[in-house]
Amino acid sequence: MVLMALTFLGDLLWMLYWVPHWWSSEMAKWQLALHSFVIFVSFGGFVLKALIIGTLATVREADLRNAIGKLRNKV
Per-block mean pLDDT, blocks of 10 residues, the chain (75 long):
83 82 70 75 90 88 85 81
Domain of residue 34 covers 2-74
pLDDT of the residue at 27: 67
What is residue 64's predicted lDDT score, i.e. its pLDDT?
82
b/e 4-41 (16+ beta carbons within 10 angstroms → b):
eeeebeebeeeeeeeeeebeeeeeeeeeeeebeeeeee
pTM to 2 decimals?
0.56
Question: 10 Å Cβ neighbour count for 2?
Answer: 6
Q: Would you state the pLDDT for residue 31? A: 67
What's the confidence (pLDDT) of residue 30? 66
Q: Number of folded domains in the chain?
A: 1
